[in-house]
Amino acid sequence: MPRRRQTAEWTAKPLHSRRLLYRVLMIAGLLGTALVVGTIGFTLVQGDSVFDAFYRTVTTITTTGNQELSPLHRRGQVFNAILILFGVTSMFLAVGAMTQTIIELELQDRFGKRRMKRMIQSLHDHVIVCGFGRVGRHASFELQQARAPFVILDRDESRVARATGMGMLAVAADATRDQSLREVGVERARGLIAALPSDAENLFIILSAKALNPTLRVVTRVSEEEAEEKLRRAGADTVLTPYAIAGNQMANALLRPHVVEFLDFEHSELGPHVSIEQVRVAPKEPFDSRTLTRVMNENHTGAIVLAVRRKSGEMVFNPPAEFEIAPGDYLIVMGEHERLEELEKLLTS
């Protein structure tokens, strides 16, 4: 499915965090105002020292009394009565706000977990991302931008909180355990990304996931190149070596800079509105065999067909205009997102 680039701010604070910050600032403002006004008032009206005025204010708004200090003058009594009305009211408001905040956080945490569980149970054909480190985080961003359903598994609760704050489904659990994989619907998932820093843990995840869902497509990272073959034997469909990829990119940036710039759409002059996507031809009949020329003339997409992957698995690069596509084929095309979506609607209708 062609994806749309989003410009959303990933670091936006959740609504409940802003509400909590507002209440804390409100409580601090009320109490601080009461203390400052009371201290200044008793200093001017009663003639107390700054410390005595501060102490008298604290004992007044906390309703503990101030009998141990000097008696109040008439003006001091009037000011003290006003301070009691304002200060004690502020104290009660502060206690009530704190109590309400604590109760809301407890309920929010409880109902938030239930809501998260219901959302995960409703997922189908989704992707499971194991690990929200540097690799898993970027993979999750790509899935979120593509609007693909996915859920994150990570042992670190702070990472899980960060992911949920970005609007992602995330669960604090050990991805190497079968029960954790079942809880995020591995039997219903279409893919899994094993992005833990340890090759041994990724191997364990792949073995468990493939045993629970043999049709699952698994993509993983590998730190040691020697472990690549083991991960493939365990069932990984794609094994990526971040260090090798980075090294190749650095060398190509010097040897073939224009090729790298062309392929890096996000940072090239082509802009984020152009991408390379795979578009599937309707896998079921009825679908009349069509040539690429006919498809492009019907759609006027202006998209460029780079390759066609046959249903049999054969890959045809740079297919000619008279090339006939059939149900179950995949077209590897380049173009603007809106045009690619139109092409997909044409081929899947």
Give Cα separations from 158 to 9, 16, 161, 172 (angstroms): 19, 17, 5, 9
Question: pLDDT band at residue 109, thresholds of 50, 70 and 90?
Answer: low
- Tally of CA atoms within 13 A in the half-sphere of 76 that contains its CB: 18
The dihedral through the CA atoms of 183, 108, 166, 222 has a sign that is: negative
Stretch 325-349: mean pLDDT: 81
- The pLDDT assigned to 9 comes to 35
Q: Does residue 136 share a domain with residue 166?
A: yes
Q: Does residue 103 share a domain with residue 207?
A: no
Question: pLDDT band at residue 159, thresholds of 50, 70 and 90?
Answer: very high
Q: Does residue 159 share a domain with residue 201?
A: yes
Percent of the chain with pLDDT over 70: 83
Last residue within a domain, chosen from 58, 85, 112: 112
Question: pLDDT band at residue 4, thresholds of 50, 70 and 90?
Answer: very low
Residue 250, in any domain of the structure? no
* pTM (2 d.p.): 0.59
Taking the C-alpha atoms of residue 277 and residue 336, their distance in angstroms, rounded to an integer, is: 10
Last residue within a domain, chosen from 81, 112, 143: 112
Q: Does residue 151 share a domain with residue 57?
A: no
For residue 168, pLDDT over 80 is answered with yes
For residue 220, pLDDT over 80 is answered with yes
For residue 13, pLDDT over 60 is answered with no
Residue 102, in any domain of the structure? yes
Comparing CA positions, the residue from 189, 182, 179 lying closest to residue 127 is: 189
Percent of the chain with pLDDT over 90: 24
Residue 160, in any domain of the structure? yes
Q: How many domains does the chain have?
A: 3
Q: Give the residue ranges of DSSP H helices in 131-198.
A: 134-145, 157-165, 178-183
Residue of higher predicted confidence among 17 and 248: 248
For residue 272, pLDDT over 70 is answered with no
Last residue within a domain, chosen from 93, 112, 131: 112
**CATH code of 52's domain:** 1.10.287.70
- The pLDDT assigned to 132 comes to 94
- The pLDDT assigned to 294 comes to 77
Residue 87: which domain range?
15-112
Taking the C-alpha atoms of residue 120 and residue 208, their distance in angstroms, rounded to an integer, is: 19
- The pLDDT assigned to 212 comes to 94
- The pLDDT assigned to 17 comes to 59
- The pLDDT assigned to 11 comes to 38
Residue 226, in any domain of the structure? yes
Which segment of 29-33, 105-109, 230-234, 319-323 scores lowest on mean pLDDT? Answer: 105-109
- β-strands 304-309, 191-194 pairing: unpaired
- The pLDDT assigned to 58 comes to 83
CB 289 within 8 A of CB 324: yes
Question: pLDDT band at residue 5, thresholds of 50, 70 and 90?
Answer: very low
C-alpha 238: how far from chain center: 23
- Mean of the per-residue pLDDT values of the chain: 80
Residue of higher predicted confidence among 71 and 309: 309
Scan for tokens 């780079």, then name that residue: 306
Q: Does residue 132 share a domain with residue 181?
A: yes
Residue 261, in any domain of the structure? no
Q: Does residue 288 share a domain with residue 226?
A: no
For the stretch 277-310, pLDDT in tens is 888 887 765 555 677 777 777 666 677 888 888 8
Stretch 225-252: mean pLDDT: 88
For residue 153, pLDDT over 90 is answered with yes
Taking the C-alpha atoms of residue 182 and residue 192, their distance in angstroms, rounded to an integer, is: 13
Taking the C-alpha atoms of residue 181 and residue 208, their distance in angstroms, rounded to an integer, is: 8
Residue 2, in any domain of the structure? no
- The pLDDT assigned to 2 comes to 47
- The pLDDT assigned to 19 comes to 66
Residue 10, in any domain of the structure? no
Residue 299, in any domain of the structure? yes
